[in-house]
Amino acid sequence: MKALVYHGPGKKAWEEVPDPTIIDPTDVVVRVDTTTICGTDLHILKGDVPAVTEGRILGHEGVGTVVEAGSAVSAVAVGDRVIISCISACGSCSYCHQGLYAHCLADEGASGIGWIFGHLIDGTQAELVRVPFADNSLYKVPDGVTDEAAVMLSDILPTGFEIGVRYGRVKPGDVVAVVGAGPVGLAAMMTASLYGAARVIALDLDTNRLDQARAFGASDTVNSADADWIDQVTGMTDGLGVDVAIEAVGIPGTFDACTRIVRPGGSVANVGVHGAPVELALQDLWISDISITMGLVSTSTTPMLLKLVAQHKLAAERFATHHFGFDQVLEAYDTFGRAADTKALKVVISR
Amino acid sequence: MKALVYHGPGKKAWEEVPDPTIIDPTDVVVRVDTTTICGTDLHILKGDVPAVTEGRILGHEGVGTVVEAGSAVSAVAVGDRVIISCISACGSCSYCHQGLYAHCLADEGASGIGWIFGHLIDGTQAELVRVPFADNSLYKVPDGVTDEAAVMLSDILPTGFEIGVRYGRVKPGDVVAVVGAGPVGLAAMMTASLYGAARVIALDLDTNRLDQARAFGASDTVNSADADWIDQVTGMTDGLGVDVAIEAVGIPGTFDACTRIVRPGGSVANVGVHGAPVELALQDLWISDISITMGLVSTSTTPMLLKLVAQHKLAAERFATHHFGFDQVLEAYDTFGRAADTKALKVVISR
Amino acid sequence: MKALVYHGPGKKAWEEVPDPTIIDPTDVVVRVDTTTICGTDLHILKGDVPAVTEGRILGHEGVGTVVEAGSAVSAVAVGDRVIISCISACGSCSYCHQGLYAHCLADEGASGIGWIFGHLIDGTQAELVRVPFADNSLYKVPDGVTDEAAVMLSDILPTGFEIGVRYGRVKPGDVVAVVGAGPVGLAAMMTASLYGAARVIALDLDTNRLDQARAFGASDTVNSADADWIDQVTGMTDGLGVDVAIEAVGIPGTFDACTRIVRPGGSVANVGVHGAPVELALQDLWISDISITMGLVSTSTTPMLLKLVAQHKLAAERFATHHFGFDQVLEAYDTFGRAADTKALKVVISR
Amino acid sequence: MKALVYHGPGKKAWEEVPDPTIIDPTDVVVRVDTTTICGTDLHILKGDVPAVTEGRILGHEGVGTVVEAGSAVSAVAVGDRVIISCISACGSCSYCHQGLYAHCLADEGASGIGWIFGHLIDGTQAELVRVPFADNSLYKVPDGVTDEAAVMLSDILPTGFEIGVRYGRVKPGDVVAVVGAGPVGLAAMMTASLYGAARVIALDLDTNRLDQARAFGASDTVNSADADWIDQVTGMTDGLGVDVAIEAVGIPGTFDACTRIVRPGGSVANVGVHGAPVELALQDLWISDISITMGLVSTSTTPMLLKLVAQHKLAAERFATHHFGFDQVLEAYDTFGRAADTKALKVVISR
C-alpha cells in the first residue's frame, strides 16, 4: 500500500510500504477512506517528538472501512464504516474502567499514554492501518454522517469538548472565553453550547480567525493585540471576570492571560500543548477559588458527539476548509502548514 | 472592654478599648468565651497584610455568647452559644447563593473577600465583638460540644476540609498525600477520612510533627528531607503516584512537590498561603489530566462538621495543645509563635 | 389598591383592599407591573388547597417596581425593576444554605414550604404586594428584557428547568421525552437545550399542543393517544428507551408511562402536581438502575436563566399568548381556564 | 469435576459434571477456592427465576485461581488468585463504557443483564468455572487479603455500597437509615462510613440482627416492630427526617417506610429485590425534592473496595459466620436457609 512515511526531521514521503496485518486477536485492519492532518503532525516533522522514529507512518485521525478483524473482536465487523479514534484503549485497565483512555496502561510501546497512532505504531495517513484494541477504539458511523464530518470526531471535537468545555466545567449561563481561535479553540467554542453558555468570547491576534469564530458559536470577539483586551473581556461580564477561560494556544502568555480574566470561583482549562514552563501567580491566586485543569483527550465522548452530529446539532463538517486526494497528501501538508495564509482549518484527504 | 490591638508591625497590646455596638439591623454583639490564634495573625503582626491598619483588634476565630441582636436577626438570639465563622457572608449576593461565602460581594470594606474579622473590621481576640450578617455567620453550638472543640470550626477544620479534601476531590479508596503537618495540614488529614481515603501520607521536615500526624489520621509518614522521599511516596501507591496531593505549607518547593507526586487523573489542592509565584511545569503536565485548585475557606461546611464533632466522629479538641486566660494572650502569642519549640498546634484562649 | 381576592371555592373578585405595608425590616413593597395566572391558581379556586383561606389575594408570579424597602434590605432599592420569585427564602436556614429555597424553614405561616404568595400570605395579582425576605426573593431585571419575558422567570421556566431538566440529569447527547405539552412541559423542552439534548420528544393527546411544542424546542412529537406510542418513542432511541422522561401532567397514567419508556440507567423526573398515589412496578424496575425525582421549584436558577433571556438564548416571551389589563383580570382567568379552546399558554396581565 | 446442580424447583445435587473449557478467546477457567451462597440462590431453588433451567450449576460469587486463559486475555494470567465478580462485562459496549456493567449489552444469553453466572451460564458453586470476558470480570487479590474477605467483594459489599450508599448519595454529616439488617443491609451500613455518615440507624424486626448491626457500623438501632418507630428515627435527626433511607428488604411495607422517614431533599435508595408493585404516595411526595433510586450492582467499585479491605479499613471477613468444605455444600445451604435460627450472615464454602 501507499503511506505517508516520516524519514527524520523535515523529511516525509508518500511511498509504497508493506500492508499491515492482524497481530493480536483484538486487532482489525481498516481501509482508510478519509484522513486529516493535526498540528501535532507538524511538530513531529520538525523533530519535536523524539518518540517518533524514522520509518513511522504518520497520522492519528481517520474514517474508514473494516477489511479484516481478529478473532476476539466483537463490536465491529468487516464492512463496517468506522471512526478511528486518536486514542487506543484496552478497555480493561484501571484507567480505561474510569473512562480515562488517554492513560490506558496496556498500550503498545513505552509511553504509558493512549495516543499511539503515528507515534508509537503506524498511523492513519495510509491506505490501510492496523487498529489495536478495536472494540474500544472504533466507532461505527451512522448513515447520513459524511466522512468529512466524522473525521472531526477522531480528535478535534472531543479534544475541545473534553479538555476545554468539560474540564472547564462550563454550565448554563456561563461566560466562556476561548483564547486561540485555531481548530481546537473553535471546537471548544462549538461545543460550549452543549452546556448552555450564555456568551462565548473568542480571543485571537488574527482578525480572519475571529471572523471565522462567529460561525463556530462565538457570540463576541476580542483582538488580544488590543492594549485594553482584558478590560474588553471583563466588560462582557458583571465586572468580575469570565466563568471559564479556555487556553487553546500553548504558550506562557496565553496561559497567564487566562488566569487574569477568570473570576473568583471560575475555571481555567488548558487545552494547548506547551513546550515550556509557565509562571503561576500563586501569591495572588491562592485566594481565588479557581481550578486549573489540563490533559490529553480520552475520546470517551466521541459516541455522544457523533449522536449530535447525526442529529445536525453540531456542524462538524464546518472545519473542513480544503479537500485533497490521497496522492495529494504532500500538497495537503503544505496548505495546512501555511494556515495563516491559506486560512485552512482542517484539510480533508480522501481516497 | 479589653482587646488585643495591632499597633503597626511588631507591636500589639492587650488594652482597654470601647465596647462594640450594633450598627446594622443584621448585626449582633457576641461576648467572646474562647478564641485562638492563626498563622495569619502572625503574618499581620509582621506587617505582611497592608489592609490591616493600626488600631485594629486582631483575631478571626472564636466561640461566644450572643449579648445583643439587631432587629433583623432571626437565626440566633441573645443567650445563644455560637461559633463565630472566620468568614462573614451577607447570604444574598450571587456568591453567597452558590455557597462561595469567601467571595461575598457585600462585605464591609474594600477587599471583596469574606474574611473581614481582624482584617477590615475589629476581630475576636477581645471580650466582645460585633458580628455583621449574624444570620449567615454564626452557628449555634449543641450541648456536649466544648469550646475548645468548637473554636476549631471557626477556620481550621473547614479550611482543611473545603480547600484540601473537597477541592482535592478525595474519594473512597484514594491515596492522599498531605505536604505540611501544621494545623491546617492536620485538619486535612483528619477530614480525609470523611471521603474514605485508603491511605493518608503525611509529609514534613519535622519528625515531631510527623509523629503527631498519626493521631490526626495519617496512615503513613514520609520525611521530606529524605533524598528519596518521592520514591517513598510513590511506593505507597501502585507506582503511578497519589490520587490527591494537598499543599499545606505555602512555598514554591512544596507546591512543585505536589505536582510531581500526583498521578495522571489526580488532583493537587493548594491550601497554603503563598507570597511568591511558582513555576508550573506545563511542558510535562499538559498531558496529565490533573486539576490544580486553590482558595479561601467559605466555612459552608461548618454546620456539617459540627454535627460530626457532636457525634464524636471528629476529635476537634485534639488540636488544642496549650491553654491560656484572656489576660495571658501575649504569652499565648509567644507560645504559638515558637511552635517548633513548644510543639503548639492551636493555643486556646478562654475567658 | 385593587386586587384579585379569593372568597371561597368558585368565588373571586377584583376589588378594593388596603395597601400592604412593610412589617419586617427585610420586607419591601413592590408595585406590580405585570402578573400572570398559574394552573395552581385554578386549583385554589376549586377549593383544592385548604391552606388558602377566604380573603387571600391570589397570585405568585410577577414583575414590578420596588416602592418601599425595609431597613435591612440591601440587595434591591426603591425604583428597581424586579422579578418576584414564586418562592420566598430567608437565605440563612440550612435549606437556604444548600439552595433548596422551596423548603425554607423560616417561612411565614405553617407549611414549611417556601411557596407562600397567594397561599399563606397575599399574592401578586394586585396593584401592590408586600415581599418578605426581599434580598433573597427578588431579582433585578436588566434593560432590554421585557416584562412579558421576565414574568416567565417567576415560576414556569425555573420549574421546567430545575425539576424537569436538572433533576432529570439531562446531559449532552440525551434523548429526552416530555410527557405533557402544557406550559411547564414546554418550559422543560425549551431548557433541555441548555444541557445539549440530542432529541426532545414531546408527548400529548392534543395535536395543537404538539404543533406548538416544536417552537419550544421539541425535535419530535408523538401523540400519546396512538396505540403504539411507546414503540414510536422507543424507535427514536437505540431501542432501549429514552435517557430522561419528564412527567409534566400529574396523573398516574403519565407517571407510569415515564417509567415504561426510560432506559436502564436513565431518569424519570416528575414535575406534575399529583392528587392521588401511583403504583410503581418495582418488581420490574428494581433491576433498572433508574432514578425517580420530584419536587417544588426553588427558583435558585432564576438569575442564570435571566442571563440567557437577556442574551436572547431563551425566548421566554414565547409563552405569552394572550394579553390583558389589570381591570380585565377576570377575563384573563376565563381565557386561561379554557386553554384547550383558547390555545392559551400563559396570559399576561399588565398595568 | 463436582458442582452444585439445579434440577428444578426444590431440587439440587452436588454431583459429577464435565469440566468447563475455554470457548471464546476472552474466556478463562478458574479453579474455585472459595464460594458462598446468596439469597438469590434460594429464590432460584424455589423456582422464582424461570430463566434458570434444569441442569444449571448455581452460584455467582467466588474466589479462585486461574488455570487456563484464552488467547485474548491480558489482564490476568494462569496462577493468578482472583475475585470472580457476580457481573460479567464485555468492557466495550455503551453501558460498559459508562461503568454500568449490570446492563452490559454483550452478555451471553437473552436477558440483557450482566448477571449471568448461575443464571444464564454455569456458576461458581463448583470446582471449576468458565469466566467469559475475563479481563473485565476478574480482580487480582493482593497478598494479605483472605479468601473469606475477598469473596464478599463478588457481590455483597459492592451491592450495599453502589446501590445503597452511592445511589443514596450519602455525604459527610448525613443521618442514614438502613431498613433491613440482613447481609446486604449490613454491607450498606459498613460502607456508609466511606462518605462520612454522622449516624447510621439500623432498623429490623429481629433484635439479634440489630445487635449484630453495631459491629457493622450502625451507631443506633430501632426495632421496626415498635409502634413509634418512625418517631424514634425522626428523633435522631433535627426532626425533619433522615438524609438517606436505604431499603434492604424488598417488600412494599419497608419501601413505603423509607419514603416516610426521608427528609425533604433526601434520598431513598432501594436495594431490595421486589416481587410485587408498591404504592408511591405521590400526592404527598411530589413537593418533597427527594430522589428514589434502584438497581442491580455493577461491581465497578470492587477494585476500590478491595484496596480498603487490603488496608484494613473495611472488615469484610466479618460477614463470614459459618464455614464449610465443598463436600458440605448441602449442609451450608441448610444453615444459610435457616438464617433466623442459625444467625448465619454469609456461609463460606472452601476447597
pLDDT tens across B106-130, in order? 866 555 579 999 999 999 999 999 9
Q: Which residue among D282, D289, D291 places its CB closest to the CB of C291?
A: D291
Predicted local distance difference test score (pLDDT) of residue A106: 84
**Model confidence band, residue D109 (pLDDT cutoffs 50, 70, 90):** low
Q: Which three cell numbers stand for residue B91?
A: 447570604
Section D229-246 average pLDDT:
96
Q: Does C305 reach chain A within 8 Å, measured CB to CB? A: yes
Distance from CA of C29 to the nearest CA of B (A): 17
- Round to whole Å and give the CA distance between D322 and D315: 16
Predicted local distance difference test score (pLDDT) of residue B113: 74
Chain C CA closest to residue D275:
C283
Interface test with D, best of A92, A93, A95, A131 (most D CBs within 10 A): A92
Angle at C282 between CA C280 and CA C288, to 5 degrees: 115
The answer, yes or no, to whether residue D110 has pLDDT greater than 60, is no
Contact B17, B2 (CB under 8 A): yes
Predicted local distance difference test score (pLDDT) of residue D106: 84
**Model confidence band, residue D219 (pLDDT cutoffs 50, 70, 90):** very high
Predicted local distance difference test score (pLDDT) of residue D108: 66
Q: Which residue among C252, C290, C295 places its CB closest to the CB of D289?
A: C295
* Residue showing cell 428597581: C80
Q: Do A196 and C307 touch (CB under 8 A)?
A: no
Predicted local distance difference test score (pLDDT) of residue C110: 53
Predicted local distance difference test score (pLDDT) of residue B106: 84
E strand or H helix that includes residue C213: helix C207-215
Distance from CA of D201 to the nearest CA of B (A): 13
Section B163-170 average pLDDT:
98
Section D127-156 average pLDDT:
97
Q: Do D99 and A97 touch (CB under 8 A)?
A: yes
Residue pairs between chains C and D whose CB atoms are closer than 8 Å? 121
Q: Which residue among B173, B193, B307 places its CB closest to the CB of D198?
A: B307
Q: Which residue among D100, D279, D288 places its CB closest to the CB of C294?
A: D288
Residue pairs between chains B and C whose CB atoms are closer than 8 Å? 57
Q: Does B208 reach chain D within 8 Å, measured CB to CB? A: no
Predicted local distance difference test score (pLDDT) of residue B110: 53
Q: Does B239 reach chain A within 8 Å, measured CB to CB? A: no
Q: Do A301 and C172 touch (CB under 8 A)?
A: yes
Tell me the mean pLDDT per 10 residues along chain A, length 351: 97 98 96 97 93 96 98 95 96 94 80 84 98 96 97 98 98 98 97 98 95 97 96 95 98 97 98 96 96 98 98 97 97 96 97 93
The DSSP secondary structure of B11-24, one letter per residue, reads -EEEEE-PPP---S
- Round to whole Å and give the CA distance between A313 and A306: 10
- Round to whole Å and give the CA distance between B10 and B42: 9
Predicted local distance difference test score (pLDDT) of residue A110: 53
Start-to-end CA distance of chain A, whole Å, equals 12
From chain C residues 71-130, the ones with a CB under 8 A of any chain B CB are 71-72, 74-75, 90-94, 96-99, 106
Contact C2, C41 (CB under 8 A): no
Q: What percent of chain B has pLDDT over 70?
A: 98
Q: What percent of chain D has pLDDT over 90?
A: 96
Chain C CA closest to residue B96:
C97
Q: Do C280 and D276 touch (CB under 8 A)?
A: no
Which residues of chain B neighbour D194 with C-beta distances below 8 Å?
A: 172, 195-196
Predicted local distance difference test score (pLDDT) of residue B107: 65
Predicted local distance difference test score (pLDDT) of residue D270: 98
Q: Which residue among B72, B90, B136 places its CB closest to the CB of C26?
A: B72
Q: Does D269 reach chain C within 8 Å, measured CB to CB? A: no
pLDDT digits (tens, 9 = 90+) for D183-204: 999 999 999 999 999 999 999 9
Predicted local distance difference test score (pLDDT) of residue D111: 57
Q: What is the 3-state secondary structure (H, E, C) of chain A?
A: CEEEEECCCCCEEEEECCCCCCCCCCCEEEEEEEEECCHHHHHHHHCCCCCCCCCCECCCCEEEEEEEECCCCCCCCCCCEEEECCCCCCCCCHHHHCCCHHHCCCCCCCCCCCCCECCCECCCCECEEEECCHHHHEEECCCCCCHHHHHHHCCHHHHHHHHHHHCCCCCCCCEEEEECCCHHHHHHHHHHHHHCCCEEEEEECCHHHHHHHHHCCCCEEEECCCCCHHHHHHHCCCCCCEEEEEECCCCHHHHHHHHHHEEEEEEEEECCCCCCCEEECHHHHCCCCCEEEECCCCCCCHHHHHHHHHCCCCCHHHHEEEEEEHHHHHHHHHHHHCHHHHCCCEEEEEC
Which residues of chain D neighbour A70 with C-beta distances below 8 Å?
A: 72
Q: Does C167 reach chain D within 8 Å, measured CB to CB? A: yes
From chain B residues 34-53, the ones with a CB under 8 A of any chain D CB are none
* Residue showing cell 415515564: C258
Predicted local distance difference test score (pLDDT) of residue A102: 95
- Higher confidence at residue A158 or residue D112? A158
- Round to whole Å and give the CA distance between D157 and D161: 6
Q: Do C135 and B94 touch (CB under 8 A)?
A: no
Q: Does A300 reach chain D within 8 Å, measured CB to CB? A: yes
pLDDT digits (tens, 9 = 90+) for C106-159: 866 555 578 999 999 999 999 999 999 999 999 999 999 999 999 999 999 999
Interface test with C, best of A307, A309, A312, A314 (most C CBs within 10 A): A307
How many other CB atoms sit within 10 Å of the CB of residue D191? 28
Q: Does B328 reach chain A within 8 Å, measured CB to CB? A: no
Distance from CA of B28 to the nearest CA of C (A): 13
Section B24-39 average pLDDT:
97
Predicted local distance difference test score (pLDDT) of residue B100: 96
Contact C112, C87 (CB under 8 A): no
- Round to whole Å and give the CA distance between C111 and C105: 9
Q: Does B237 reach chain D within 8 Å, measured CB to CB? A: no
pLDDT digits (tens, 9 = 90+) for C196-235: 999 999 999 999 999 999 999 999 999 999 999 999 999 9
* Average pLDDT, rounded, for chain A: 96
Which residues of chain D neighbour A26 with C-beta distances below 8 Å?
A: 72
- Whether this prediction's pTM lies above 0.90 is answered by yes
Which residues of chain D neighbour B303 with C-beta distances below 8 Å?
A: 173
Interface test with D, best of B174, B240, B307, B312 (most D CBs within 10 A): B307
Q: Which residue among C282, C293, C298 places its CB closest to the CB of D277?
A: C282
Q: Which residue among A272, A290, A295 places its CB closest to the CB of B294?
A: A290
* Average pLDDT, rounded, for chain C: 96
Q: Which residue among C26, C92, C97 places its CB closest to the CB of B300?
A: C97
Distance from CA of B149 to the nearest CA of A (A): 26
Q: Does D246 reach chain C within 8 Å, measured CB to CB? A: no
Predicted local distance difference test score (pLDDT) of residue C263: 97
Predicted local distance difference test score (pLDDT) of residue C343: 95
Q: Do A282 and B274 touch (CB under 8 A)?
A: yes
Q: Do B289 and A295 touch (CB under 8 A)?
A: yes
Q: Do C293 and D288 touch (CB under 8 A)?
A: no
pLDDT digits (tens, 9 = 90+) for B287-346: 999 999 999 999 999 999 999 999 999 999 999 999 999 999 999 999 999 999 999 999
Q: Do B291 and A264 touch (CB under 8 A)?
A: no
The answer, yes or no, to whether residue B225 has pLDDT greater than 90, is yes
The answer, yes or no, to whether residue D153 has pLDDT greater than 70, is yes
Section D322-327 average pLDDT:
98
